[in-house]
Amino acid sequence: MKTRRDFIKISTAGAGAVALSYKAFGSKGFGLFESNSVDPVSDEDLTPYPTYCEVCFWKCAGWAYVDKSGKIRKVLGNQDDPHCNGRLCPRGTGGVGMVYDNDRLKKPLIRETRKDGSQFFREAEWDEALDLVASKMKEVKEKYGPEAFGLFNHGTPGGQFHHLLKAYGSESNAEPAFANCRGPRSSAFFSTFGAYVGSPENTDIRDTKCLVLIGSHIGENMHNSQVQEMSEAIDNGATIITVDPRFSTAAAHSQHWLPIKPATDIALLLAWIHVLVYEELYDKDFVEKYTFGLEYLKDHVKNFTPEWAYGITTIEPEKIRETARAMAGAAPSVIVHPGRHVVWYGDDTQRERAMAILTALLGAWGKRGGFYFPEGVSVPAFPHPHFPEPEWTWKDWNEGRYPLATMGITTELLKASIPRYNYKHQVKAWLVAGTNLPLSMPDKPLFKEAAAAVEFIAVMDTMPMDITGYADVVLPEATYLERYDVIRSAPNREPNIALRMPAIEPMYDSKPGWWIAKQIGERLGLHDYFNFDDYSEVIDWQLKQLGTSLEEMKKIGVKKFPRKSGPLYMGDNEDFTFNTNSGKIELYSTDFADHGFDAMPKFTKHPEPQQNFYRLIYGRAPMHTFSRTSNNPNLSDLMSENSVWVNPKVADLWGLKKGQEVWLKNQDGHVTSFPVKVRVTERIRWDSVYMVHGFGHKNKKLSRAFGKGASDTEMITNVVVDPIMGGTGMRGNFITFLTEEPAREEKEVKA
């Protein structure tokens, strides 16, 4: 076998350490810790404060260790926390970099226009900024009704503003986490099992005998407890089957890697279902007792043989049979992982349905090593009056489309903001909290048109993300290590809660999200919805209802509660009613059929790249979260820019060399704002390229991230919408290489 060897050091020092070190010091000339010594501080000299992480949505609980001078030295995981088991991921460990990033938003900013028409941001005091936001909210309410004020939200800061908007009378909110990410699996699993997979997912990876990953790259996504449990599963000798056109980290740790042709996953899933059904490998007792529609399914998949799938997926029939039998051999301790970012081709809900059907055939729902029954703690709401009933909500933008959407669809919120779409219910102003829309949403031209159309935009963030460049008012939020926040309560094996409290006072003139929301609420006469002086009062009241207190939680950070809903798994032959139309697990979805959709998944052929174009696949790096961490001094130190992965055959064809900078152009003629370095690697197929998402920032105020790498989002202008729930399929975009910077017609001028 011919061997070829890639050799890449992810960290900055090591080989060539001297040259890199000098450069790093000379160009930055600052240190996070400016002490004259590298002597570590003993843990006994540090004070720990409980928190849960906000660098990603996994929300691992930990302790922020503060030294005697009031500096946070490190953040470590909480041993009792099931999200992290005492071990944070690199982003959580590097979360301290969010606090000490010199580029943070430091003062409220208000957009001003000079006489010549040019615009700039002026620093303002909080009163002025908050008065302005409140006056715009009043104005919109009077002119159009409160519903016309929309909210883009993500994470805990988004939650504070969601409360504000509901009190104000609007439920015109949407978060990229649904239609741009995990929405299809929610709709698919709910239609099949009458239950959601949740976050963290109820996958029992710890005890599984077979883990199937389809485009899910655990290990590159650092969904902490899942990464930990996959490692345990490896120790336990579990079989891992990874389906990916890219040789991912998970693929490298798998017994079976199926290097599938992109966009053909449903064909593989149908062939697997065919093998289970026609070789009678499915769990007969489980299927008979708990499911509906086996006969329909049997008929449906009759012709979807492995030989049929071979011609579509390029996966050999014997490999398809071998892996199907491996799953059946491990059943019911088998997980066909639903994944997380699953908006690929516009038929994603159907692909997720196929995965749910496989799960049902293997009898893995409610079983050890399959999917467990999670339970959460219901945290009572702090007393407030009923929310007013809006005359219309996010559901009404859809006007009958996307009937199985369970949350607001971001692209619909954009379209509702653009008059030419002529929506019956239009949005006139936005609040944006905790999400960097220009990099978190596809179809940037649509975003820009919407941002230009609305009358007012207020953005709350900790960093001068690209979205702040579109704001009329920028509200600098304190980081998660400087604020109280909502009690974390996410369903898990054991019900549990976690506390976030400030480890240090907010730096600069930043303020906690709860404070900002309350201040705006007070100005709108909504005091009764914010009937507290400090958020610690809310938390203490809630904790007391749960039989604990703020005082206790400050000492322990995480508290577990006994389960009330019954065991983690279904008993053998136990009677069970599912929350679906038929009361059974639906192999044949009556819900889909009722809405005029295919009741069982079908394979649809998707467009292929044209000559000289390659399918754009994007994903995660373990040390970064979305575009949020690219400027974090600790994490940019690990990975400061992305690259475009190119197969050596393709590189030869184009004469591309390792490290060469290229611009990418997509099928619609869009070119990346910045060049990106080529990584020549066997780890990617010849018909595709791969990029880590979240780079190519355009705001110069991000001194470390500006212009570093290219934005995959800029290349995603073709969006295939899932008719079932409105998901935005983003994998139907193709790029080609430009080896020289193209002449540009349009220059973007920013405030």
Partner 1 sequence: MRYAMAIDTKKCVGCGDCVVACQTENNVPHGYCRDWIVESVDGTYPSLSLEFRSERCNHCDNSPCVRCCPTGASHIEEGGIVTVTHHKCIGCGACIQSCPYDARYSHPEGYVDKCTFCLHRVQKGQSPACVDVCPTRCLHFGDLDDPNSDVSLAIKDRKWKTLAPEAGTDPQLYFLT
Where in 407-436 is the site for partner 1 (CB under 8 A)? none
Q: The tokens 């940037």 sit on which residue?
A: 444
**19 sits near partner 1 (criterion: CB under 8 A):** no
CA 120 to chain CA centroid, Å, is 32
Contacting residue, 20, 46, 294, 738, with partner 1 by CB under 8 A: 20
Contacting residue, 94, 150, 442, 709, with partner 1 by CB under 8 A: 94
Q: What is the DSSP letter of 614?
A: E
Cβ-in-10-Å burial (0-12, 13-18, 19+) of 560 comes to: middle
**5 sits near partner 1 (criterion: CB under 8 A):** yes
Specify the residue, 288 or 652, whose C-beta has the smaller distance to partner 1.
Answer: 652
Residues 171-210 touching partner 1, rule: CB under 8 A, are none
**2 sits near partner 1 (criterion: CB under 8 A):** yes
Contacting residue, 220, 494, 522, 661, with partner 1 by CB under 8 A: 220
Q: Which of 269, 393, 281, 420 is nearest to 342 (CA)?
A: 269
**46 sits near partner 1 (criterion: CB under 8 A):** no
| 3-class DSSP assignment, residue 232 | helix
* Binding segment (CB under 8 A) for partner 1, from list 89-97, 338-346, 399-407, 449-457: 89-97
Inter-helix orientation angle 306-313/265-278, to 10°: 170
Specify the residue, 8 or 743, whose C-beta has the smaller distance to partner 1.
Answer: 8
H/E stretch holding 662: strand 661-666
Contacting residue, 48, 50, 82, 90, with partner 1 by CB under 8 A: 90
* Binding segment (CB under 8 A) for partner 1, from list 82-90, 273-281, 722-730, 731-739: 82-90
Contacting residue, 181, 211, 227, 297, with partner 1 by CB under 8 A: 227
CA angle, 371 as apex, 366 and 377 as ends, to 5°? 85
Contacting residue, 61, 66, 88, 467, with partner 1 by CB under 8 A: 88
Q: What is the DSSP letter of 181?
A: I
Residue pair 716/616 in contact (Cβ under 8 Å)? The answer is yes
**33 sits near partner 1 (criterion: CB under 8 A):** yes
**222 sits near partner 1 (criterion: CB under 8 A):** yes
245 upstream amide cis, omega within 30 of 0 = no
Residue 645 φ then ψ, to 5°: -80, 125
Contacting residue, 42, 69, 422, 611, with partner 1 by CB under 8 A: 42
**741 sits near partner 1 (criterion: CB under 8 A):** no
Contacting residue, 8, 68, 389, 400, with partner 1 by CB under 8 A: 8
- The Cα 581–Cα 738 span in angstroms is 53
**69 sits near partner 1 (criterion: CB under 8 A):** no
Contacting residue, 78, 180, 224, 411, with partner 1 by CB under 8 A: 224
CB 650 to partner 1: min, Å: 11
Residue 617 φ then ψ, to 5°: -110, 140
Site size toward partner 1 (CB under 8 A) is: 81
Specify the residue, 23 or 302, whose C-beta has the smaller distance to partner 1.
Answer: 23
Contacting residue, 249, 582, 590, 660, with partner 1 by CB under 8 A: 249
Residues 515-544 touching partner 1, rule: CB under 8 A, are none
**590 sits near partner 1 (criterion: CB under 8 A):** no
- The Cα 48–Cα 109 span in angstroms is 33
Q: Which of 707, 710, 705, 672 is nearest to 692 (CA)?
A: 710
- The Cα 283–Cα 585 span in angstroms is 13
DSSP string, 499-544: ----SSPPPTT-B-HHHHHHHHHHHTT-GGGG--SSHHHHHHHHHH
**Token pair belonging to 737:** 């290489």
Contacting residue, 53, 66, 89, 418, with partner 1 by CB under 8 A: 89
**64 sits near partner 1 (criterion: CB under 8 A):** no
* 252-271 footprint of partner 1 as x/- string (CB under 8 A): xx---x-x------------
Contacting residue, 78, 93, 216, 359, with partner 1 by CB under 8 A: 93
**106 sits near partner 1 (criterion: CB under 8 A):** no
Specify the residue, 240 or 664, whose C-beta has the smaller distance to partner 1.
Answer: 240
**Token pair belonging to 165:** 């908007």
Specify the residue, 67 or 449, whose C-beta has the smaller distance to partner 1.
Answer: 67
Residue pair 409/394 in contact (Cβ under 8 Å)? The answer is yes
Q: Which of 595, 499, 574 is nearest to 540 (CA)?
A: 499
Residue 465 contacts by C-beta under 8 Å, 6 or more apart in sequence? 436, 439, 627, 628, 697, 699, 702
**7 sits near partner 1 (criterion: CB under 8 A):** yes
Please state, in angstroms and as integers, the Cα–Cα distance from residue 568 to each residue in 248, 335, 420, following that order: 32, 16, 51
**Token pair belonging to 181:** 């990410």
**9 sits near partner 1 (criterion: CB under 8 A):** yes
- The Cα 334–Cα 362 span in angstroms is 7
β-pairing, 688-692 vs 734-738, is unpaired
Specify the residue, 12 or 582, whose C-beta has the smaller distance to partner 1.
Answer: 12
**87 sits near partner 1 (criterion: CB under 8 A):** yes
* Binding segment (CB under 8 A) for partner 1, from list 248-256, 492-500, 585-593, 602-610: 248-256
Q: Euclidean distance between the first and final Cα of the chain, in Å? A: 56
Contacting residue, 21, 303, 565, 604, with partner 1 by CB under 8 A: 21
CB 19 to partner 1: min, Å: 11
Residue 548 contacts by C-beta under 8 Å, 6 or more apart in sequence? 559
**153 sits near partner 1 (criterion: CB under 8 A):** no
Specify the residue, 39 or 572, whose C-beta has the smaller distance to partner 1.
Answer: 39
**25 sits near partner 1 (criterion: CB under 8 A):** yes
CB 248 to partner 1: min, Å: 9
Specify the residue, 681 or 718, whose C-beta has the smaller distance to partner 1.
Answer: 681
**35 sits near partner 1 (criterion: CB under 8 A):** yes
Beta strand extents in 79-232 (DSSP E only): 109-113, 119-123, 149-153, 173-174, 210-214
Residues 228-247 touching partner 1, rule: CB under 8 A, are 228, 230-231, 234-235, 247
Residues 629-688 touching partner 1, rule: CB under 8 A, are 633-635, 637-639, 647-648, 681-686
Specify the residue, 39 or 389, whose C-beta has the smaller distance to partner 1.
Answer: 39
Residues 602-631 touching partner 1, rule: CB under 8 A, are 622-623
